């Protein structure tokens, strides 16, 4: 079973620098993401989003606010022919050192427990930060860096298997990553 893990902010939606997406109106889907999600739906057995959401821990939003944001996004994905099997999030503050917070692998292990057949060795983690890449590497996944943070690839080459400018470009050029996980 091939599985895709996706970070949220900076991969699926525009990251708010020094801020948080706290309501659906703040959630700006990056160009090409909905097309990419439709491609992924045909290519992967399971698709998960794994996201740190310390805005909840800081009291800037509630879990219900986050659920509204995710409902908005999932509706857009479904209308475009894509799917997400589950969204995992960690509301803990970075200072809490929660095992569920990336780069720790708690969310990956939870997905593996909850969905029969998920093999982390046969999974791809897509993110836009070194934290995402470390999460993927620690879990034994193939890692794909997307976005403008190219220096993550050059400063942490041991963490990044592939780099693409955005999620849609990765979706259109997915075969090398698929071959990597199939060879594990």
Q: Which of 9, 128, 132, 161 is catalytic?
A: 9
Based on the number of CB atoms within 10 Å of its own CB, is 59 exposed (0-12), middle (13-18) or buried (19 or more)?
exposed
Distance (Å) of CA 73 to CA 58, 91, 135: 23, 19, 23
Q: Which of 7, 65, 132, 161 is catalytic?
A: 7
Q: Are 146 and 170 in contact (CB under 8 A)?
A: yes
Q: Which residue has the tokens 């699926």?
A: 12
How many CB atoms within 10 Å of residue 177?
A: 20
Is 161 among the catalytic positions?
A: no
Q: Are 123 and 2 in contact (CB under 8 A)?
A: yes
- Six-digit token pair at 16? 């708010």
Is 45 among the catalytic positions?
A: no
Active centre residues (catalytic): 7, 9
């Amino acid at each position: 079973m091939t599985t895709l893990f996706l970070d949220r902010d900076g991969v699926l939606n525009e990251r708010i620098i020094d801020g948080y997406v706290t309501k659906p109106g703040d959630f700006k889907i990056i160009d090409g993401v909905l097309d990419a999600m439709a491609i992924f739906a045909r290519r992967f057995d399971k698709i998960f989003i794994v996201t740190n959401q310390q805005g909840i821990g800081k009291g800037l939003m509630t879990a219900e606010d986050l659920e509204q944001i995710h409902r908005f996004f999932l509706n857009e994905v479904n209308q475009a022919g894509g799917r997400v099997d589950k969204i995992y999030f960690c509301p803990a503050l970075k200072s809490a050192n929660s095992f569920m917070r990336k780069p720790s692998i708690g969310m990956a292990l939870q997905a593996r427990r909850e969905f029969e057949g998920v093999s982390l060795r046969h999974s791809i983690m897509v993110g836009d930060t070194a934290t995402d890449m470390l999460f993927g590497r620690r879990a034994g996944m193939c890692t794909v860096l997307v976005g403008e943070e190219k220096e993550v690839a050059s400063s942490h080459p041991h963490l990044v298997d592939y780099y693409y400018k955005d999620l849609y470009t990765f979706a259109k050029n997915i075969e090398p990553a698929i071959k990597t996980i199939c060879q594990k």
